[in-house]
Amino acid sequence: MGTSYDAKDIKVLEGLDAVRLRPGMYIGTTGIKGLHHILWEIVDNSMDEVTNGYGTKIDIILYKDGSVSVEDDGRGIPVDIHPQLGVSAVEVVFTQLHAGGKFDNENYAHSGGLHGVGASVTNALSEWLLVEVYKNGTTYKMEFESKEVNGKVKGGVPKFSLFDTGVKTKKHGTFIRFKPDARIFESVVFSFDTIKRRIKELAFLNKGAHITLTDEREGDEPVKTEFCYSGGLIDFVLDLNDTKIPCFKNPIYIVGSENNIDMELAFQYTDGYTDNVFSYVNNIPTTEGGTHETGFKSGLTRVMNDVARKMGVLKDKDENLKGDDFLEGITAVLSVKMQNVQFEGQTKTKLGNPDARVAIEHMVVGELNKFFDISSNKTIADAILKKALVAAKVREEARKAKEITRQKNSIENFNLVGKLSNCTGRRAEDNELYIVEGDSAGGTCKQARNRHYQAILPLRGKPLNAEKKRIDQVLDNVEIRTIISALGCGIGDDYTEEDLNFHKVIILSDADQDGGHIRAILLTFFFRYMKELITGGHVFIGMPPLYKVYKKDIVEYAYNDDELDKAKAKVGRGFDIQRYKGLGEMNSEQLWETTMDPKRRTLIQVSIEDAAEAEKLVSTLMGDAVEKRKAFIVENANFNREDNFKIN
């Protein structure tokens, strides 16, 4: 080929150049999630100060110029000269990857940060960054900027070295303000609601921590919210169960410490049928669970079976109840603080440390035995055991219902003739399933689709609300069985990604009250019994247009009221408007052009970014607390807004 390949061809990226060249390696994405990631890195550093007992407050401010600041009352970043690098420790923290005080256990007993990557990555991906350190009775200051050097933009370049401003202060801690670089991110607009959800979670997890969020971006008066929970995890569980009926008033709360692993646990049972266990390691959500969750569940099972025998609920001849029996209806929050964390799983949110399972199980068994030894707590034990016994009685029925998926007359073999209009493509990763409201819309979709990779499944009635029913009752519903059969991947513990027939599952319903209800019911079913379908990125909401604006041969479609004004302006004077009340009002050509053509359609991917918030949202909208549901809908519902389809 004649092309030389010498030492000169090996590129060495200096300083923070690698971060700007491949930001996805450090923050996952340059989309809105990555934008918030660089904020979390700074917030997590402040929270590490609070968690380790060096501070109590964190203040976050969103400014009109697009920048954001985080201030804590911790010890303040060290300001002395680094012995190896010859510059201030502040400069080292913000310009060197893998530099920080968290590589040993002398400064931090445990940390939720990325071990020295965070602050420097935030700096590298910012247009500018300012840091002030309040220490030794004075204020230190340093600034960084992104600037062009030899035709290339370099991030995180010191504007000047750290200096003592001479401004005396009684404060202690660190103030950091930065502006994300619009050349890196798809959007540089922070979401108030996203930040609010995360800091609320952090406030629950860190009892007594006072966290404020102030938004100065719009209007004359700033919007301010603050969180501080003296009850910590107890308050967290009560908040999660706000729309449910508890089996006993106060959550069970236990703490323990063993082999440098600290545990906090709070849980309460409700009249629901699903288990909701939320676990965290060093404030990081472990949405895939892990060894700490395993330790909790096995410890709970051991203790409750022992209690059942002591109370005579189980006789000598009776078998122990299963772990699942003691999980039905539970809402639990488990927070673990530990060193040398090992994460596993596709998204690195599963704890892998074997010692965590042993320690957590031992602590749970010891502390729960103490709890149930107290005579006044026997009524709580009785409530839990009654619920577990009911769960055990229907366990066999539920198991048999799941067995339907493996037998000759299984859900997979459920008669789909006349229901599913399948596609001809054999590559599941290319195939799409449109779940459509009603036969009329289904007929139009069948005519409009690309038969090679688009399948159509019309619903002929409303599926069952899975929030209010056990799994065996859910599987008796014809519409639910049809959906499971079409997908082919099984449900619950039997879910198998490799057997999924369609890698895009698109809910397509009318933009009215009934359509919104069907969307909510389907999302509830997926969330409760096929959560991996959502976390795997397979569930989407189709967005049919609400309006057609036309004049002679000029046609524009609008998907919401804001787009309607733009469409009117494009078409010009003398236009007519057609308001679509349902999918059936469009002909097949219009439906393909606006809603099904991958080149022109709008799909909203359903995601779960905050499992605890998603749980509360689903139970509020689909549970039995009517007044709370009405209040939520009045405040939030607008089924034409894209962001309302994301379970964030």
Q: Indicate which residues carry an active-site annotation.
A: 437, 510, 512, 514
Q: Residues with Cβ < 8 Å from 431, sequence gap 6 or more?
A: 423, 425, 453, 454, 455, 501, 502, 503, 504
At residue 80, what is the residue type? D
Instruction: Give dist(CA 207, CA 571) in Å, integer.
Output: 57
DSSP for 269-311, written as a single string = EBS-SS-EEEEEETTEE-TT-BHHHHHHHHHHHHHHHHHHHHT
Q: What share of the chain is helix, strand, coil (3-state, %, to 5)?
A: 40, 25, 40
Q: Please state, in angstroms and rounded to a whole number, the distance separating the CA atoms of residues 375 and 48.
A: 39
Place of tokens 């009329």: 440
Cα→Cα distances 619→265, 272, 501, 521, Å: 22, 9, 29, 12
Q: Which helix (H) or strand (E) holds 248?
A: none
If one counts every other C-beta atom within 10 angstroms of the C-beta of residue 236, the result is: 26
Cβ(332)–Cβ(296) under 8 Å?
A: yes
Q: Is 433 helix (H, G, I), strand (E, B) or coil?
A: strand
Task: Tell me the residue type at 141.
Answer: K
Q: Which of 435, 462, 474, 480 has its CA nearest to residue 518?
A: 462
Q: CA-to-CA distance for 108 and 571, rounded, in angstroms?
A: 62
Strand order in the sheet with 138-149: 152-168, 138-149, 126-135, 173-180, 68-72, 57-62, 210-215, 223-227
CA 374 to chain centre: 38
State the SS3 of 445-482: HHHHCCCCCEEEEEECCCCCCHHHCCHHHHCCCHHHHH
Q: What letter does residue 421 receive in the DSSP assignment?
A: B
List, in sequence order, every residue forming a beta bridge with 269; answer none if it has no partner: 330
Please report where in the chains the tokens 């009109």 appear, as a residue.
Answer: 64
